[in-house]
Structure 1
Amino acid sequence: MNSFGSSGIRGVALQELAPADTLDIAQAAGGVFRERNGRVAVGRDSRETGEMMVNAAASGLASVGCHIDCLGVVPTPSLQAYCERRGVPGVMITASHNPPQFNGIKLIGDDGVELTRETLDRVEAYLAEEPELTTWDRTGDVRTVESANQDYQTQLLDAVDRERIADADLTVALDPGHGAGSLTSPKLFGELGCTVKTINAQPDGRFPGRDPEPVADNLTDLGQLVRATDADLGIAHDGDADRAIFFDETGSFVEGDAALAALTAAQIESGETVVSAVNASQRLVDVTSEQDASLELTPIGSTYLITAIRQLQTDGESVSIAGEGNGGIIYPGYRIARDGAYTAARLCELVAETPLSELVESYDGYANVRHNISYDDDSEREAMIAAIEDTAENAGADVDTTDGYRLDYGDAWVLARPSGTEPVVRVYAEARTQKRANTLADEMVDAIES
């Protein structure tokens, strides 16, 4: 079983993450949660093993005296909205963008925000000890809550410019990827006044239409739907709908980094700080510089972004947007949480005035490459890291070790780091030409695989 990574715990269900593991984690989380609140919300995405894992989590929480609100199949942002609204912590059973055989656990605070690294360390400490079980007459009760998704949609609709979007009479092509967003996003964009065309919009934990990760290779059908319906934009979610990836009105895939840059340019003001991860595109660097704003880089993963946002706010800094190029964007004024539907609605506000292709045109001219290299055990992982370090030392580039090794060549960069959620080493590269990006990525991959 994996410990908490950059975005919770994930693993192949019944192999790397068994119901017994989920029960243990829920008991440990309950040990922290019961200090402030005796009730915990539990939700899941559409995966086949979700209900089994929810039952294990509920048993673990009840055994340490926590009462449970079972929300059913909900996007992670829906559970977070419920936690914030009710003032209760939460357990989300989801493997986000991972393949169908995976499942995982995210822990949410009573403010609707993922737990900070410090609080996760406290859960880890409880996990290392024998659980403090309650007595038979003090076990927690379980109640079913059916209104979470509707309440989430209502709250989200009130947080965006509905009139501006409705007046534009947009047609939206939507691909929730058979995930939890299938239950919310089609209705939400309809209520925003959009004509909604859908694909893969039925919850199905086997994900028959496409892999849950919203990357270009998995979304060819959405591009075709945009073109066939003459849609103004295409929107794709991952399994728990906390991310959004886009296609423009021509049916062309929009790089996540370009969408983040466009949304950032429309949001930030001079003197503010933008938070992103160490794989941030030069596009974002350029936007923050042009707006006389600062860019704070963190390790990759929502946990690190959230921790940085909170610290910056405590220090008196203004952070109006944060995020990564994978479609996970945070608007702290709305909630310090990634929300794919809210991000897409904010983009609709912009598309109501300007076609998406024009919005991102300024952020073209960059080529990106990403590779995943699997490993089988810790010794192989350590050998790969040693190869990355050796490559970095001899590269003749500026090296950033915030998370893995980022080699900056001035005109291009390459980053290699172990994933926080999967047994893979990820390699990213960006350059002004595809050839240059491919060369940098291939050289790093060759060094790791050798």
Structure 2
Amino acid sequence: MPLFGTSGIRGVVDQDLTPGLCHEVAQALATSLTVRSRVCLATDTRVSRNVLKEAIIAGLLSCGVDVTDLGILPTPVLALLTREWEFDAGIMVTASHNPPEFNGIKLFNRDSIGYSPEQEWQIERLYSQKQFREAPSGMLQQGRGMRESYLDFIRQKLPVKSLNRGLKVVIDAGNGAASGFVTSLFTDLDLQVLPLNDVPDGLFPGRSPEPRGDTLQTTVDFLREKEADLALCFDGDADRVVFCDREGFLGFNEPTAFISRLVAERSPKSRIASTVESGRLLELAVQDLGVEVVRGKVGDVHLAHLTREAGASIGTEQVGVYIIPEAGYYPDSIFAALVLLSRVGKAGEIRELFAGLPRLFFDKSKVPCPNPVKESVMQEVRGRVESFESKGVNDLDGIRLEFDDAWLLIRASGTEPAIRVIAESESPSRTEELLARGTVTVQAIVDKRR
């Protein structure tokens, strides 16, 4: 099994991800950098954060790299400060949307873009060889002024005077890295803010760190009770954001398509980047703008590099990832939310746009699957493709089957031990049928390997 998945290194703490592994990964990273390089590091709120952070810091220092500890921060802030404060690399200790028992490591370059697969392979090779540099110890210091620096950046990049301060906005931080940070930031921007699950707690007592329709009902109830207009719901490290209004969860594809349109309308660029997991709503939302949607592999690292290589105005994943080159080639949910709040007159505009478009029905499931057998499971799935009688097959990342009225995607998750199944069509029954068929097929194959 390779160390890196679609979004860094991820695993269950003390099983897949141990302090010893983190120490050696840090030594490998430090060895790939020059002596006295400067690295910044932040974490989300998980209870394992300190023991893993200490192991990483010790590994970096032992190879002659200087470290600045930024504490608990959203991933987009860590990525931005890596660039703005001129660090040579940035490390985020997080498992993003995974359950509390998971944690992980994400690496960022000095220009804020995530480490490419080639760079990850270099780190993995050094880790495997265990030939780490010996050097006088680096220095450790604590960061200061992170929120203020991010706020200054927002004020430089966004027309903050146009923010819709008439909207009442719920900030559901999910007890993750956004806790306190986003509420404070939005308050400084004179927005009307109602905080929810806004206390850092790595057990995520308020709700799951993965914001979805089935985990956000309490948020919707709170929004209605407070007569708010919109809820911004962040995942564990705040590199994702999804939205709710008084009618409920706004969906995955709807906000990403809406915000993509907002950005594309004001950009001279004629492309939008996305992944094989995104639905056809994205094309429908921008078809009158003459904008092309370019799809690539799943994962914010793949998406960031695709966005840059394609010269796209924005990169999106339907789970709520937004990469806006105006800010940088990293996922910035906070910046994306502020773009939305600076362009809409009322929360209902999102639903109004899609009321005028053909209705699509999108759903997904996942089948638990041990990491060591994922590849063999997917090989057997490929052998059964013909039985689905699709019109076309896209095997760029997993297997996406195209039909006249629908599509079905089956792919191995790069962040957890599971096989994901996603379907979209023009009718709920067709989506349900495809999703069930794909899920049953995968489950049967996995069961044979238990």
Q: TM-score, normalised by structure 1?
A: 0.93
Distance 2:375 2:150 in 1: 43
Could you give the per-residue CA deviations for residues 14-46 of structure 1, whole angstroms, max 9, x where no partner exists?
1110000101111111122327x6110011000
* Matched residue type, 1:201: D
Distance in 2, matches of 1:377 and 1:350, equals: 43
Please say if residues 181 and 237 of structure 1, whose CA atoms lie closer than 8 Å, have aligned partners that are also in contact: yes
Q: State the shift of 1:193 in Å.
A: 2.1
Q: Distance in 2 between matches of 1:273 and 1:33?
A: 34
1:361-376 aligned at under 5 Å gives the runs 361-362=355-356, 365-376=359-370
Indicate the residue corresponding to 1:286 in structure 2.
284
1:101 aligns with 2:101: yes
What is the aligned-residue RMSD (CA, Å)? 1.8
Shift of 1:377: 5.3
**In structure 2, how many angstroms separate the alpha carbons of the residues matched to 1:30 and 1:390?**
43
Structure 1 residue 445 corresponds to structure 2 residue 439: yes
Instruction: Read off the aligned partner of 2:291 and give its amino acid letter.
Output: A
Q: Distance in 2 between matches of 1:78 and 1:159?
A: 14
> Which residue among 145, 148, 154 is the counterpart of 1:147?
145
Correspondences of 1:416-431 after superposition (within 5 Å): 416-431=410-425
Q: Is the 8 A contact 2:157 2:326 kept in 1?
A: no
State the SS of the aligned residue for 2:384.
helix
**Alpha-carbon distance in 2 for matches of 1:363, 1:116:** 37
Deviation at residue 354 of structure 1 after TM alignment: 6.0
Amino acid at match of 1:131: Q
Q: Structure 2 vs 1, CA of residues 15 and 354 (structure 1 numbering), >3 Å: closer, same or farther?
A: closer
Alpha carbons 1:2, 1:16 under 8 Å: kept:
no
Answer yes or no: is the 8 Å Cα contact 2:7–2:299 preserved in 1: yes
1:228 paired residue number: 225
SS of the residue corresponding to residue 320 of structure 1 reads coil
CA gap 1:34/1:183 in 2 versus in 1, 3 angstroms: farther
From the superposition, tell whether residues 230 and 141 of structure 1 become closer, same or farther in structure 2 (CA, over 3 Å): same
Instruction: List aligned pairs for 1:295-374, cutoff 5 A.
Output: 295-312=293-310, 318-352=311-345, 355=348, 356-362=350-356, 365-374=359-368
Q: In the TM superposition, what whole-angstrom CA distance separates every residue of 1:350-391 from its partner, at most 9, and x where no partner exists? A: 333563432443457221111111123524x34421342133
Q: Please state whether the residue corresponding to 1:87 is helix, strand or coil.
A: coil
Paired with 2:90 and 2:7, the residues of 1 have a C-alpha distance of 15
Task: Give yes or no for contact 1:93–1:106 (8 Å, CA) kept in 2.
Answer: yes
Q: Is the 8 A contact 2:269 2:313 kept in 1?
A: no
User: Which amino acid is the alignment partner of residue 73 of structure 1?
Assistant: I
Question: Which residues in structure 2 correspond to 1:195-234 (within 5 Å)?
Answer: 195-234=192-231
In 2: Cα distance, 1:30 partner to 1:227 partner: 50
- 1:328, 1:338 within 8 Å by CA — same for their partners in 2? yes
Partner of 1:4: 4
Contact 2:274 2:316 in 1 (8 A): yes
Report the Cα offset of residue 2 of structure 1.
5.1
- Return the offset for 1:428: 0.4
Residue 437 of structure 2 aligns with an amino acid whose one-letter code is: E
The equivalent residue for 2:448 is none
Equivalent position amino acid for 1:311 in 2: E
Shift of 1:319: 1.5
| Structure 2 counterpart of 1:75 | 74
Contact 1:6 1:302 survives alignment (8 Å): yes
The match for 1:266 among 238, 254, 262 is 262
Q: Which amino acid aligns with 2:362?
A: N
Following the alignment from structure 2 to structure 1, what is the Cα–Cα distance between the partners of residues 125 and 380?
A: 33
- Counterpart secondary structure, 2:363: strand
* 2-structure distance, mates of 1:190, 1:121: 42
Contact 1:156 1:342 in 2 (8 A): yes
Q: Distance in 1 between matches of 2:132 and 2:401?
A: 47
Provide the rounded CA distance (Å) in 2 between the counterparts of 1:2 and 1:51.
25
CA deviations over 1:176-234 (Å, ceiling 9, x no partner): 10001013111122222221112110000111111100111111111111111111211
Which residue identity lines up with residue 407 of structure 2 in the other structure? W
Check 1:66–1:226 CA distance in 2 against 1; reply closer, same or farther (3 A cut): same
Give TM-score, length-normalised by structure 2: 0.93
Which residue in 2 is equivalent to 1:315?
none
CA distance in structure 1 between the aligned counterparts of 2:150 and 2:283, rounded to whole angstroms: 33
Task: Answer whether contact 1:387 1:447 (CA < 8 A) is retained.
Answer: no
* d(CA) in 2 for partners of 1:115, 1:412: 34
| Structure 2 residue 26 is matched with structure 1 residue 26 | yes
Q: Give distance in 2, aligned partners of 1:307 and 1:353.
A: 33
Tell me by how many angstroms 1:310 deviates. 2.7
Q: Which runs of 4+ in 1 moved over 4 A?
A: none
**CA distance change for structure 1 residues 441 and 64 in 2, over 3 Å: closer, same or farther?**
same
Q: Give the distance between the partners of 2:184 and 2:357, measured in 1 at CA.
A: 31
Instruction: Give the counterpart letter for 2:190 in structure 1.
Output: G
Q: Which moved more, 1:383-392 or 1:84-93?
A: 383-392
Distance of 1:364 and 1:218 partners within structure 2: 27
Q: CA offsets, 1:134-171, max 9 Å, x none? A: 24xx11111011322332133224322221115x4221
CA distance in structure 2 between the partners assigned to 1:382 and 1:62 by the alignment: 37
What is residue 407 of structure 1 aligned with on the other side? 401
Deviates more, 1:145-154 or 1:179-188: 145-154
CA–CA separation in structure 1 for the residues paired with 2:90 and 2:116:
14
Q: Which amino acid aligns with 1:427?
A: V
User: Which residue pairs with 2:447 in the alignment?
Assistant: none
